[in-house]
Homo-oligomer: A and B are copies of this chain.
Amino acid sequence: MTPGKIPPTTVQRLPLYLRCLVQASAMHMPVVNSVQIAEMAGTNAAQVRKDFSYLGEFGTRGIGYEVDSLITHLSKELGLTEHRRVAIIGFGRLGSALQSYPGFDERGMKVVAVIDADPAKIGTVSDGITVESADDLEEIVKRERVEIAIVTVPGKYAQGVADRLVASGVRAIMNFAPVQLVVPEGVEVRQADVAGELQVLSFHLNPRRTLA
């Protein structure tokens, strides 16, 4: 198939595949087939092949996929050829936990700015990065060429922060505040709602009628 359009559901699985392939590479497996990838990723082989086929023809019939080459392809597809420049807005417990998360660096993310509104935090240094004032959000975003923003401010401030981020040119936001952000066309938001996820789990705990 000619690479052209990639279904959103496929995009969502790409990071998972990438993780599995890196793992395979670390285990010195030069080649893997779709069945093996499916096992690692917890899906089925047909799904894996279909997903990869949207990106191009990377496999060899009768053999499988060359791991390192596929890692390169996926990384390129995900825009991870160089680290993405990330800002964290809101340096509370969650924000600081995220800043020091080692998985970011390993997976193509680089935190380049940390912003908070609390004067007691502003100016403190954490992991080599100085916490800066929310007042200066716009110039910080531009100065650091921020590509992705992680919002961990209290819910009532989240929309305001998002508006300023968008106005400053940010086109990708990960929101941990439990509010639905409204953003213009062309800006991508992903919502993280831990309490909501736990509520979904809670649903399944109920002794109930079976699902559809």
A200 on the interface (CB 8 Å rule)?
yes
Q: In chain B, what residue has the closest Cβ to A42?
A: B180
Question: Contacts A194-B101, A209-B5 known; A14 to B199 CB distance under 8 Å?
Answer: yes
Q: In chain B, what residue has the closest Cβ to A97?
A: B93
CB distance from A129 to the nearest CB of B (A): 15
Contact B84 A198 (CB under 8 A): yes
Number of copies: 2
Query: Which of A59-67, A74-82, A114-122 forms part of the interface with chain B?
Result: A74-82
Q: Of B41, B97, B148, B212, which one neighbours A97 at CB under 8 angstroms?
A: B97
Q: In chain B, what residue has the closest Cβ to A96?
A: B93
A11 on the interface (CB 8 Å rule)?
yes
Beta-carbon contacts under 8 Å, A103-136 to B: 103-104, 106-109
A residues bordering B, Cβ < 8 Å? 3-8, 11-12, 14-16, 18-20, 40-42, 77-80, 84, 86, 92-94, 96-98, 100-101, 103-104, 106-109, 147-148, 150, 171-174, 178, 180, 182, 188, 190, 192-206, 209-212
